[in-house]
C-alpha cells in the first residue's frame, strides 16, 4: 500500500489533478509513489462515469480529494497545494493525470536544488525532456544548471517558499497558460526555473489528426504518409486563445520580448487549426471569441451558452 502521509524523507508531496481520468492514472501513480512522501489526487468534479476509476485509486491506497465544483486545473492544483503546505511539505510536485515519471525523477530534481547556490534563487525544477524531446535552456548557472523561462506544469518541483512569496496558481485562467503565467510571475519575484539534469517524462501532448488544409491532405514527401498535427477541440482553442491574449496584455510592457514570442508561437497553430482541422467553422468562432474575451479580460470557465455553441 502506498504511503499517503508525509514521512519526512524528502519533504515532497505530489499533487495530481484529475478530470475524467482513465485507468492509465494508476500507472502514473505507481511510478510516482516510491519517490515522494505523499500523493494527493484532486478530482475536479468529474462526471459520474469517473467514479469507478477514482474508487479504484482509493482502493489502491491513494488519497483522493473530490471537488464539488469544476473549477479548472489551477483550482484543483491549489486545493492540493493548500493541503500539502498545511502538512509541512518542503517541496510540492505537480503531475498531470496522463504523465508517467521515470523512477529517479524526483531525486534528480532534488539534486538540482542541492547544487544551486543561494544566489541562483531556484524556485522550480522542471523536466529536461518530454517524450524524449529536449528543452533548450537559455542560460546556464555557474553550477551548470540549465535555465528556462517557462515549461509545462506537469513535473514541476516547487519549493514551498515560492508559494508563500508568489502565491498559488491563477484560477481565473481555468485551463491553459496556467503554467506559463506562474513561470512569468515567479520571475518577477526573482526566482528561476531550472531543468532537472537528465530528466525525461512520458506525457500525452494531445490528439494527433491528419493535416488537411481546406480539405486537402498533406503527405510527407519522403514517406508518402499523411502528415498530422496536435489538435485541440474548439473549447480548448477558446481557452488557449483567450488566456494567451490575457497574458500578452499583462506582460507586454514588462516582458515585451516574451509577449512578441508568445504571439508568434500561437499564430501558426491557430491558423492550422482553423484551415486544416476538423470543425473548422467552430475553431474560427472559438478563436475570435477567445481573442475578444482576452482583450476585455473575461476570465473563468465557459458560460453554459458558449459551451453549447462550441461543443
Residue 186's domain comprises 12-203
239 found inside a domain: yes
**Is 299 a domain residue?**
yes
Which tens digit of pLDDT belongs to each residue from 50-61? 999 999 999 999
From 170, 203, 236, the end of a domain falls on 203
Report the domain count for the chain.
2
Residues forming beta bridges with residue 42, ordered by sequence position:
17, 65
Q: Are residues 184 and 222 in the same domain?
A: no
pLDDT of residue 26: 96
Same domain (yes/no): 58, 180: yes
Model pLDDT for residues 126-180, shown as the tens digit of each residue: 999 999 988 889 999 999 999 999 999 999 999 999 999 999 999 999 999 999 9
Angle at 56 between CA 50 and CA 59, to 5 degrees: 145
Same domain membership, residue 140 and residue 43: yes
- pLDDT averaged over every residue in the chain: 93
CATH number of the domain that 115 lies in?
3.90.550.10
Residues contacting residue 32 through CB under 8 Å, at least 6 positions apart: 14, 16, 39, 93, 95, 101
Best CA proximity match to 243, nearest among 279, 280, 286, 209: 286
Summarize pLDDT for 268-290 with one digit per residue, the tens.
999 999 999 899 999 999 999 99
59 and 77 fall within a common domain: yes
Amino acid at each position: 500500500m502506498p504511503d499517503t502521509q508525509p514521512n519526512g524523507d524528502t519533504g515532497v508531496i505530489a499533487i495530481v489533478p484529475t478530470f475524467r481520468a482513465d485507468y492509465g492514472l494508476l500507472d502514473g501513480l505507481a511510478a510516482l509513489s516510491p519517490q515522494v512522501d505523499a500523493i494527493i489526487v484532486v478530482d475536479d468534479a468529474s462526471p459520474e462515469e469517473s467514479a469507478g476509476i477514482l474508487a479504484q485509486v482509493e482502493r489502491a491506497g491513494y488519497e483522493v480529494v473530490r471537488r464539488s465544483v469544476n473549477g479548472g486545473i489551477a483550482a484543483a492544483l491549489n486545493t492540493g497545494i493548500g493541503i500539502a503546505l498545511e502538512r509541512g511539505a518542503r517541496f510540492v510536485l505537480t503531475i498531470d493525470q496522463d504523465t508517467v515519471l521515470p523512477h529517479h525523477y524526483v531525486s534528480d530534481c532534488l539534486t538540482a536544488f542541492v547544487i544551486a547556490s543561494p544566489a541562483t534563487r531556484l524556485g522550480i525544477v522542471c523536466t529536461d525532456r518530454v517524450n524524449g524531446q529536449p528543452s533548450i535552456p537559455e542560460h546556464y548557472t555557474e553550477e551548470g544548471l540549465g535555465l528556462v523561462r517557462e515549461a509545462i506544469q506537469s513535473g514541476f518541483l516547487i519549493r514551498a517558499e515560492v508559494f508563500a512569496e508568489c502565491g498559488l496558481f491563477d484560477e481565473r485562467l481555468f485551463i491553459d497558460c496556467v503554467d506559463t503565467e506562474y513561470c512569468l510571475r515567479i520571475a518577477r519575484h526573482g526566482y528561476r526555473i531550472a531543468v532537472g539534469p537528465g530528466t525525461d517524462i512520458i506525457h500525452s501532448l494531445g490528439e494527433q489528426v491528419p493535416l488537411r488544409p481546406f480539405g486537402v491532405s498533406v503527405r510527407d514527401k519522403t514517406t508518402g504518409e499523411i502528415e498530422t498535427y496536435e489538435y485541440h477541440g474548439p473549447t480548448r482553442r477558446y481557452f488557449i486563445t483567450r488566456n494567451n491574449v490575457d497574458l500578452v496584455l499583462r506582460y507586454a510592457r514588462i516582458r515585451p520580448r516574451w509577449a512578441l514570442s508568445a504571439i508568434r508561437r500561437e499564430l501558426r497553430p491557430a491558423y492550422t487549426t482553423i484551415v486544416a482541422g476538423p470543425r473548422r467553422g467552430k475553431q474560427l468562432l472559438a478563436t475570435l471569441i477567445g481573442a475578444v474575451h482576452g482583450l476585455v479580460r473575461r476570465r473563468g470557465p465557459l458560460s453554459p451558452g458558449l459551451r453549447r455553441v462550441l461543443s
